[in-house]
Amino acid sequence: MDLDECYDKAIERMEEDMRIGMLTSGGDCQSLNATMRGVAKSLYQNLQGIEIVGFLEGYKGLMYEDYRVLHQKDFSGILTEGGTIIGTSRQPFKLMRNPDEQGRDKVELMKNTYQKLGLECLVVLGGNGSQKTANLLREEGLNVVSLPKTIDNDLWGTDMTFGFQSAVNIATNAIDCIHTTAASHGRVFIVEVMGHKVGWLTLHAGIAGGADIILIPEIPYDIDKVVEKIEARSKAGSRFSILAVAEGAISKEEASLTKKDYKAKKRSSQFPSVSYEIGYEVEKRTGQEIRVTIPGHTQRGGSPCPYDRVLSTRFGAAAADLIMKREYGFMVGIKEGKIVKIPLEDVAGKLKKVEPESSIIKEAALTGISFGV
């Protein structure tokens, strides 16, 4: 199809004016604006009479009719801007069916706003919980197109989420900076990387930053093995060791507990996070000097990296294409370099975890990285 034909087809698809809603939900990341820009630019480019309504602070804006009509100029100059121009908030999926403070049904509120504004569809940029709510709204009859946002890269159905590579850059940079000071002082450093349930970010930043030990939730660690690795390095003449530890790293003993007992153990722990607990154990057993560094929310901040800008632009254009074809109920994703659409019902409620037997783990282990097992 040549360009003229493409253009004619797009115009044929949309003869009447169209109003679409957009929201960003859950924890933010670097490439939300770039993704919204991708959607908006593609729609403005190909359709006449398009109006985009941005709901403020995620699903909350949709519930309480808190929105702003966005104009073409709002999407200008935001490709490189972190955060989200329409704000975000966490609205847990498990509470969606609970009435709000005034006893109103949240799902009904969202449906009412959607109908009142005469929306053609709702574009949702979100992570796991937000995709579940998007699917719930789809089940309730709303036209939904969603986009995979999260620094955790844990959304099922897509090889990559936007935000992930930018966060990998920041976490890697943190490890790089720690490397020089660790080497100067001859200390053991623990860098705690975001990711409560999955270890993609820790795994990638750990490998990229040359960590000696990587601990992720999917591979429960044995503290004796962690200590063994540090001592082996010392014996071999290394004056320092670097551990990349996911927020959700879990020991073998903890992994054998019930969820309830594990939560109780964590609540009563004297340590502010898992890294301090590991640091305490390592110091006790090796006598080496330990420091903990937590880059925390810096991992979600700043400008998106070029990879994310490209991915977000592609995702945004693909979402616009679905809207132009009126194909709803899908999340846009990427599989082996190709943009794909995945039914929301397949995505909702599934986590994409690091496989302990996967090739990246084997390769990392071959280079000498310890996973604490």
Catalytic residues, by residue number, are: 152
DSSP state of 351: B
- Least Å distance between CB 211 and ligand F6P? 18
| Strands 18-24 and 144-148, sheet pairing | unpaired
For the chain, strand residue ranges (E) read 18-24, 50-55, 67-70, 121-126, 144-148, 188-193, 213-215, 241-246, 290-293, 330-335, 338-343
CA distance 243 to 226: 9
Q: Does 71 bind ligand F6P (CB under 6 A)?
A: no
Q: Which of 22, 23, 24, 27 touches ligand F6P by CB under 6 A?
A: 27
Q: Does 279 bind ligand F6P (CB under 6 A)?
A: no
CA distance 322 to 343: 12
- Least Å distance between CB 243 and ligand F6P? 18
- Least Å distance between CB 129 and ligand F6P? 9
Query: How many of the chain's residues bind ligand F6P (CB under 6 A)?
Result: 11
Structure tokens belonging to residue 148? 């995979």
Q: Does 150 bind ligand F6P (CB under 6 A)?
A: yes
Angle between helices 359-366 and 200-208 (to 10 degrees): 30
- Least Å distance between CB 54 and ligand F6P? 21
Is 282 within 8 Å of 301 (Cβ atoms)? no
Q: Which is nearer to ligand F6P, 42 or 153 (CB)?
A: 153
- Least Å distance between CB 195 and ligand F6P? 5
Task: Show the binding pattern over residues 296-335: x = contacts ligand F6P (CB under 6 A), - = does not.
Answer: ----x-----------------------------------
Residue nearest to ligand F6P as judged by C-beta position: 194
Task: Show the binding pattern over residues 179-218: x = contacts ligand F6P (CB under 6 A), - = does not.
Answer: ---------------xxx----------------------
Task: Show the binding pattern over residues 230-269: x = contacts ligand F6P (CB under 6 A), - = does not.
Answer: -----------------x----------------------
Segment (H or E) for 282: helix 274-286
* Nearest C-alpha neighbor of 368 from the set 233, 263, 195: 233
Structure tokens belonging to residue 81? 């801007």
170 burial (CB, 10 Å; 0-12 / 13-18 / 19+) is buried
* Nearest C-alpha neighbor of 182 from the set 232, 242, 142: 242
- Least Å distance between CB 132 and ligand F6P? 14
CA distance 329 to 279: 46
Footprint of ligand F6P on 118-147 (CB under 6 A): 127
Is 286 within 8 Å of 255 (Cβ atoms)? no
Q: Which is nearer to ligand F6P, 137 or 274 (CB)?
A: 274
Residues near ligand F6P (CB under 6 A) are: 27, 90, 127, 150-152, 194-196, 247, 300
